[in-house]
Structure 1
Amino acid sequence: MEKVGFGVIGAGIWGTVHARVYAEDPRVRLVAICDIDRKKAKEVADKFGAESYYTDFQELVDNPDITAVSVATPDFAHFQPAMAAINKGKHLLIEKPIATRVEEAAKILEEAKKTKIKLMVDFHNRWNPCFLKIKSSIEKGEVGEVSLIYLRLSNPSVVPLSWFSWSGKSSVAWFLGSHTVDLARWLLKDEAKKVYCVSRSKLLRGKGVNTPDFFESIIEFEKGAVVVMENAWILPETEPNIVDFKCQVIGSKGSMCADLSHHRALEKYTEEKAEYPDLFALNEIYGKLTGFAFHSIEHFIDCVIEDKEPISTGKDGLEVTKIICAMEESILSGNPVRIR
C-alpha cells in the first residue's frame, strides 16, 4: 500500500508527539514539519525523518504530497492554519481546543463540512483507560443515574511561567479545562445548559504572566447532572507530577474515583526529586509506542486511511469552546451564564 503523506504545523512539545507517531507508523509518510522557529522546525524534521520543513504553514498545506495535517500550534493560534489546511482539502487533526472563539470554531466546522474532509479534535482522554472504564460502567448502569461529577486537572506554576512564552495569551481553562469539559460531555452523553465560574488573578500576574491563576466551575447539564470542575496553574513547583488529575463520578447506585497522577502504582525517588512516573499517556514498550496520547493520533491515521469518522469530532470541539467562553463570561459578569 502506498504511504499517505502527513504534515505537522507546530513543532513544540505536542507537535513533536504528532511527528513521532506519524514517523513510526508504517502507513504514513511524514512529509513536512512547520514552525515559525526555523531551528525548531528543522530539529524536529531531522529527528523524525521528515522530508522538508517550513516556517510558513501556507507552504506546508500547498504541498501536494500532503493528504492530512496536524495543527499543534498554541491554544490561541489554531484558526488560521486550520482554515489554510481546509481550504486545500487536507484532512485535519487539531489539538484541543479547536479554537478560543466560538465564531472561529463554528467557521472551522462549517468549512470542513463543505469540503468533506475528516475533522478531528485531539481530546485524547477519550482513549484514557481509566475514563473508558468509567464510561463503560455508566453505560451499563452499574453506578445508576449520574448526578455529580468532580474533575480536577491542574499544573504546577512552572508550566505557565517557564514552559511556554505564550501563557499570557491563553489560560488554564483553554490549556487544561478543554480536556475536563470534553470528558464531562462525553461521559454524560449530554450537553451543558448553564455554567457559573469564579477565578482569581494574582500569583501569576505578580510574576509577569497575565493569565488567571485558576478557574472553579459549576456546569449544569440538560438531563440534570452537575459537574464541578477545577483547573489551576499555580500548584507548587515541588509537586511530584506535572499534572494533578482526579475524577469522581457519583450515581444513584454507586460511585467511581480515578487518580491519574498520584496513583502510586510506581514511585520514583532520587536525590533531586520524588515522582510518580506516567504509566498511561506516553510510553514505549520494546520500541513500540503505547499510551492514550499516542493512540488518539493513531486513530486519526485510521480515519484518514480507512475512511472512518473520528471519535472526537469538530462538533465536540465547538461545544467545548462554547462552554469555556461561557465560563469566561461568567467570571466577568459574576453571574451564571446559559450556554448558547
Structure 2
Amino acid sequence: MPDLVAPVRFALLGCGRFGWRHLEVLQRLPGVEVVVVADIDESRARATADRFGIPAYTTDFREAAAWPGVDAVDVCLPTYLHRDAVTTAAESGHHVFCEKPLALRVEDAVEAVAACEQAGVKLQVGFCRRFDNGWLAAAEVIREGRLGRPVVWRHATGTSGAPQSWFFDRDGGGGPFVDATIHWYDFGRFVFGEVDSVRASTSIMRPGRTAPDTGIVSVRFVSGDELHLMWSWGLPPKVRVDELHEVLGPEGALIMRPRPEPGVDPIRVAGDGVKVFDSVPHANGVDPGNLGYLWLLGRDAAQPVIYQRNDMVEDELASFVQAVRRDQDPPVGGAEAVAALRVATAVLEAGETGQAVSLRTLPALTRRAAR
C-alpha cells in the first residue's frame, strides 16, 4: 500500500543517549529520513550527524523544530525544554513526538497540547510501556479477571538513577517520581481507569538535589485497584538492588520478572513451597528465541504467561509514523500525557504535605486498542 511507505522527514532534538536510541530506530523504519539534528553541545551535534549520516545539524533546537521541509519533530531534550520545543514545532506546522513527561507543570503540558490542536498537527508522547508486550500481557491477565479484583500492583527498585544532574532538579527533570514512575501512572490509568487519590512519603537521600529521589507512593484508582511504588534514585553509582514487580489479587499473583540470565538458578519457591521453574515449552507460533513470559501463580499451580518479546521504542515510533502517514490519531496523545502528569505532580504535593491528594477530576480515559 502506498501510504505504508510514504516518506516522513524528521528533525531530532537532543543528541543524548535516548536521542541516539531514537535515531537507531528511525533509521530502521521504511521511508523515514532524519534530515537535521540539534544539540546545545556543537561537538555532540556534529558527531551525531556524522555517526548517522544526517545532512545537517544545529545547536538551536528551535531552529531544528522549525526546519523547512520537515514533516515531524522528535523531541528527546531535557524535560524542562519540552513545552518550548513542542510549541515551536506545532507553530511551524510539524507533527510532534515528544518523550515523556510532556512538561514539568500541568499548565505547560496543557499549553503544548493546545498548540498542537490549534495548528492541526499530531502529538504523541513517549509512554513506551503502552507498547511493551510483557506489560500488555500483564494487562490482559488483569482484565480477564484471572487474579480477581481489586488487585495491588507493586514495584520496588533502587539505583543511582539517571546519568545527568538535571534529572534530579525540581525544575529540570522532576526526579524519579515525575520522570520515571510516570510510566506506571499512565499504564495504571490504561488498565484500571481513573485515579481516585494518591499518597506519598518522599525524601532527598543524596545532597545537592532539589527533587525527591527516594520514597513510597500509593495510587488508588476509582476501581478500587491500587499501585504501590517503592523507588530510590539515591544509591551510589554502580549500586542497585533487586527489583520487585508483581500484581497481587484475591485469586492469585502475577510475577512480572525478566527472564533469568544464563547461569542463574532457574528454580525458586513461591507461596507454600510451590516450585516455579523459569523455563517454558515451545509455544506454537512463538519464536522460542524471542520468548518472554510472566508467571501466574494460582491456588493450585503456577503457569507461564507467554508473549513475544518486542522493541517497545521501535513499535511506538512506528505507530507515530503510521499515524502521520495515514492521518490518524496517535495511540497515546496529549490527553493521556496531561493526565499522567497530573498524577505525578499530585505525588510531589502529597510527598511535601503528607496529605492525600484527590484526583477525581482527571480528563476522560482513552485506551490503545488490543494488538
The two structures share one fold, judged by TM-score above 0.5 = yes
CA distance in 1, matches of 2:7, 2:243: 37
Q: CA deviation at 1:231?
A: 2.4
1:155-203 per-position Cα deviation (integer Å, ceiling 9, x unaligned): 521x34xx21313333111221111211211221x111211111111x3
**Residue 204 of structure 1 aligns to a residue in which SS?**
coil
TM-score by length of 1: 0.84
1:254-279 per-position Cα deviation (integer Å, ceiling 9, x unaligned): 3312024xx414469xxxxxxxxxx8
**Residue 339 of structure 2 aligns to a residue in which SS?**
helix
1:213 equivalenced with 2:202 (yes/no): no
CA distance in 2, matches of 1:32, 1:280: 37
CA distance in 2, matches of 1:111, 1:166: 26
Match of 2:273 in 1: none
CA distance in 1, matches of 2:347, 2:327: 36
**Residue 223 of structure 2 aligns to a residue in which SS?**
coil
Corresponding residue to 2:98 among 94, 97, 110: 94
Q: Cα gap change, 1:245/1:308 in structure 2, threshold over 3 Å: closer, same or farther?
A: farther
Q: CA deviation at 1:62?
A: 2.3
Q: Cα gap change, 1:296/1:247 in structure 2, threshold over 3 Å: closer, same or farther?
A: same
CA distance in 1, matches of 2:92, 2:16: 24
**Residue 152 of structure 2 aligns to a residue in which SS?**
strand
Superposed CA RMSD in Å reads 2.4
Matches for 1:85-124 after TM superposition, within 5 Å: 85-124=89-128
One-letter amino acid matched to 1:315? A
TM-score by length of 2: 0.77
**Residue 32 of structure 1 aligns to a residue in which SS?**
strand
CA distance in 2, matches of 1:253, 1:79: 44
In structure 1, stretches of 5+ residues that fail to align are 269-278, 282-288
1:179 equivalenced with 2:183 (yes/no): yes
C-alpha contact (below 8 Å) 1:280/1:292 kept by paired residues:
no
Q: Which stretch of structure 1 is more off in the superposition, 245-254 or 129-138?
A: 245-254
C-alpha contact (below 8 Å) 1:6/1:66 kept by paired residues:
yes
CA distance in 2, matches of 1:8, 1:307: 21
Q: CA deviation at 1:149?
A: 1.4
CA distance in 1, matches of 2:136, 2:229: 19
1:330 equivalenced with 2:350 (yes/no): yes
Q: Cα gap change, 1:176/1:113 in structure 2, threshold over 3 Å: closer, same or farther?
A: same
Corresponding residue to 1:51 among 49, 55, 58: 55
Match of 1:276 in 2: none
Q: CA deviation at 1:236?
A: 5.1
Query: Which structure features the higher share of helix residues?
Result: 1
Matches for 1:1-340 after TM superposition, within 5 Å: 2-152=6-156, 154=157, 156-157=159-160, 159-160=161-162, 163-167=163-167, 168=169, 169-170=172-173, 171-188=175-192, 190-201=193-204, 203-205=205-207, 208-235=208-235, 237-239=237-239, 246-260=244-258, 263-266=259-262, 291-339=311-359, 340=361
One-letter amino acid matched to 2:74? S
In structure 2, stretches of 5+ residues that fail to align are 265-289, 293-308, 362-371
One-letter amino acid matched to 1:296? E
Q: CA deviation at 1:280?
A: 9.7
CA distance in 2, matches of 1:280, 1:185: 27
Q: Percent identity?
A: 25
One-letter amino acid matched to 1:87? E
C-alpha contact (below 8 Å) 2:217/2:347 kept by paired residues:
yes
C-alpha contact (below 8 Å) 1:172/1:215 kept by paired residues:
no
One-letter amino acid matched to 1:264? P
